[in-house]
Copies of this chain bind each other. A is one copy, B any other.
Amino acid sequence: MKEIPYKIYLDEKELPKKWYNLRADMKNKPAPLLNPATMKPMTENELEAVFCKELVKQELDDTTAYFDIPDEIVEFYKMYRPSPLIRAYCLEKKLGTPAHIYYKFEGNNTSGSHKLNSAIAQAYYAKKQGLKGVTTETGAGQWGTALSMATAYLGLDCKVYMVKVSYEQKPFRREVMRTYGASVTPSPSMNTNVGRKILEKHPGTSGSLGCAISEAVEDATTHEGYRYVLGSVLNQVLLHQSIIGLEAKTALDKYGVKPDIIIGCAGGGSNLGGLISPFMGQKLRGEADYRFIAVEPASCPSFTRGKFAYDFCDTGMVCPLAKMYTLGSNFIPSANHAGGLRYHGMSSTLSQLYHDGLMEAVSVEQTSVFEAAEYFARTEGILPAPESSHAIRVAIDQALKCKETGENKVILFGLTGTGYFDMVAYEKFHDGQMQDYIPTDADLQQGFDGIPAQPEF
């Protein structure tokens, strides 16, 4: 067996030329998006009022297994990809585990996360369609940064609605986006009908992804030459993010390594869906078996405590409905610091896989996540984002289990981003002022009450 380096960098020529569409290999396809007015499946035409044409095609296509990555996007990818697959030798040693731990690190670009993979794709198709610009929401700020980088590169306008709690906790994120020429508005805002309505009802709200989505969609659909783009949840995003898993698999295959457990944090599912895609494809085709674990915050437990139902993707109920694990579009999560994991729903694709028993999910509490984050930073050198640290927590837990049992399992996890803009949260943790929050059943029931009557078709 070849000696495995600390960091496996693929050659530029090994950069995937096609995205992989996991849905093509799913027996039970994710349920279609519904029009909130008619409760019937959204047509291509209807979706094109909100999304770019090419992206609508990608969104609806659940049979084509591979999509060519346009040359212009490949050129952009070359600025920061292939991303390294890192063998966590130092972490293994410090834990004293016989497990082998690998992580795919997506933080080595200015957006600080994997979000750039889909941002450049979505901006590219908007440009191709001749649009003026795009609108979007951002939670932790990573998607907004990624999109502003992509739009700056292509010369498009970019309007970002940023979840208020993140806007306040991450003032410097706004400046990064401004460096790339984007406009940034804290959400809920007075810019939109939806925002004004929410502020009236919940004046002190710290916002949520669901609410910011509503505002961005309203802004796009009421301004000529704009479309809405989204950094997670959607099938198209999982398609673009498949590049993470494809690269990881190529790198592992080169060294003859097969992971036993694949772990990713899950907010809307963009990173997890991308990371697991080619591996899950093998599992679906009966070619190989893997254990997949989605990790979510205990404060926003869509998979582990949510319902599998058609629900609104946004708080304002202006977006299509998706069938997914959901806490209800009215669920407003506590100010958990992992802003990127505060979404009430989950990717339909991942929801279907989870529902079919092809994937597991666990929820973890904030303080234990930050303990893992600090331990990891001191051991592996990289300061992780709180979101990514959910995966670290469970990877460490699994590695410690291996220590108990003596099994030398191979663990792969997604290190989606860096925590440079999360130092307010780290400060709270250092000062012992971080609290765990687990919603009560009554809290959840409030959210569930907002789930609409389920359509029959």
Contacts and interface: CB of A to CB of B under 8 A. Distances in A.
A152 B153 CA distance: 39
A255 interface: no
A179 B377 contact: yes
Given A90-B79, A421-B420, A180 B430 contact: no
Interface string A1-24: 000011101011000000000000
Contacts of A108: 108
Contacts of A58: none
Contact of A381 (B7, B149, B374, B382): B149
B378 A181 contact: yes
A325 to B, nearest CB: 33
Interface in A98-146: 108-110, 112
A157 interface: no
A31 interface: no
A337 to B, nearest CB: 13
A67 interface: no
A380 interface: yes
Interface in A148-185: 149, 152-153, 171-172, 175-176, 178-181
A418 B374 contact: no
A78 interface: yes
A429 B112 CA distance: 22
A260 interface: no
A80 interface: yes
B6 A9 contact: no
Contacts of A152: 378
A9 B382 CA distance: 19
A423 interface: yes
Contacts of A379: 153
Interface size class of A (residues with CB under 8 A): 35 or more
Given A7-B12, A78-B5, A79-B90, A382 B110 contact: yes
A383 B176 contact: yes
Contacts of A303: none
Given A6-B78, A12-B5, A430 B179 contact: yes
How many identical subunits does the complex contain?
2
A423 B79 contact: no
Interface in A393-420: 418, 420
A423 B176 contact: yes
A426 interface: yes
A44 interface: no
A46 interface: no
Contacts of A61: none
Contact of A374 (B7, B171, B179): B179
A449 interface: no
A382 B424 CA distance: 23
Contacts of A171: 423
B426 A79 contact: no
A436 interface: no
Nearest to A148: B378
B381 A109 contact: yes
Interface string A35-48: 00000000000000
Nearest to A110: B383
A430 B175 contact: yes
Interface in A43-75: none
Interface string A367-398: 00000001001111111000000000000000
Contacts of A443: none
Contact of A179 (B172, B175, B426): B426
B175 A378 contact: no
A229 to B, nearest CB: 19
A423 B78 contact: no
Interface in A342-384: 374, 377-383
5 contacts: A110-B377, A152-B378, A172-B421, A175-B423, A179-B430
Given A6-B12, A110-B383, A176-B426, 8 more contacts: A5-B11, A5-B78, A80-B381, A109-B382, A172-B424, A176-B420, A179-B383, A420-B420
Closest 5 CB pairs of A and B: A172-B423, A175-B423, A5-B12, A6-B78, A420-B420
